[in-house]
Amino acid sequence: MRSPLRFVETLRSHGDVVRIRLGPQPVHWVNNPDLVRQVLASGSFTRGAQGDKLRIVIGSGLVTIDGDLHRRHRRLMQPAFHRARIAGYVETMRELTTEMTQRWRDGERIEADREFAELTLRVVGKTLFSTHLAGDLVDEVVRSIPLMLRGVGRRIRDPIGLRGKLPTPANREFDSAIRRLRKVVDRIIAEYRAGGDDHGDVASMLLLAHDEETGEGLSNQEISDEVLTLLTAGTETTANILAWAMHHLAERPEVEARLHAEVEAVLGDRAVTAEDLASLRYLHAIVMEALRLYPQAWILTRRALAPVRLGDIELPTGASIYFSPYALQRDPAIYPNPDRFDPDRWADDRSTLTQRPSFVPFGGGRRQCIGDVFAMTELTVALATIAQNWRLERVSGPPVRIDSSSTLKPSHLPMTPRHKPRG
Ligand code: HEM
> pLDDT tens, 136-192?
677 777 788 878 877 877 777 776 677 777 888 888 988 888 888 888 888 888 888
Q: Is 205 a member of any domain?
A: yes
Residue whose CA is at the smallest distance from ligand 1 atom 26: 234
In the three-class reduction of DSSP (H, G, I as helix; E, B as strand; rest coil), residue 390 is classed as strand
pLDDT band at 350 (very low <50, low <70, confident <90, very high): low
- Interval 12-52: pLDDT, tens: 999 999 999 987 789 999 999 999 999 999 999 999 998 98
Q: Is 333 a member of any domain?
A: yes
Residue 369 is labelled as binding a ligand: yes
Number of domains in the chain: 1
User: For residue 400, is pLDDT > 90?
Assistant: yes
Q: Is 403 a member of any domain?
A: no
Ligand 1 touching residue 63 (CB < 6 A)? yes
Q: Is 84 a member of any domain?
A: yes
pLDDT at 134: 63
Provide the domain limits for residue 219: 4-396
- Residue 105, domain CATH: 1.10.630.10
Atom of ligand 1 nearest to the CA of 375: 27
Highest mean pLDDT among 44-53, 85-94, 386-395: 386-395
- Interval 222-252: pLDDT, tens: 998 998 899 889 999 999 999 999 999 999 9
Residue whose CA is at the smallest distance from ligand 1 atom 41: 367
- Residue 73: is it exposed, middle or buried by C-beta count within 10 angstroms (0-12/13-18/19+)? buried
Number of neighbouring beta carbons within 10 Å of residue 413: 23
Q: How far apart are CA 231 and CA 239, in angstroms?
A: 12
Q: Is 46 a member of any domain?
A: yes
pLDDT band at 79 (very low <50, low <70, confident <90, very high): confident
Ligand 1 touching residue 33 (CB < 6 A)? no
pLDDT at 18: 96
- Interval 204-213: pLDDT, tens: 888 887 777 7
Ligand 1 touching residue 362 (CB < 6 A)? yes
In the three-class reduction of DSSP (H, G, I as helix; E, B as strand; rest coil), residue 65 is classed as coil
Q: Is 416 a member of any domain?
A: no
pLDDT at 338: 96
Atom of ligand 1 nearest to the CA of 70: 41
Determine the distance separating the centroid of ligand 1 and the alpha carbon of 369, expressed in angstroms: 4
Pocket test for ligand 1, best of 65, 288, 369 (most atoms within 8 A of CB): 369
Q: Encode 110-140: b = buried (16+ Cβ within 10 Å), e = exposed.
A: bebbebbbbbbbbbbbbbbbbbebeeebbeb
Q: Is 418 a member of any domain?
A: no
Q: Of 421, 423, 412, nearest to 109 (Cα)?
A: 412
Q: Is 406 a member of any domain?
A: no
Atom of ligand 1 nearest to the CA of 376: 1
Ligand 1 touching residue 230 (CB < 6 A)? yes
pLDDT at 9: 95
Residue whose CA is at the smallest distance from ligand 1 atom 9: 362
Ligand 1 touching residue 31 (CB < 6 A)? no
User: For residue 277, is pLDDT > 60?
Assistant: yes
∠ CA 407-409-411, nearest 5°, is: 140
- Interval 115-134: pLDDT, tens: 999 999 889 888 887 765 66
User: For residue 347, is pLDDT > 60?
Assistant: yes
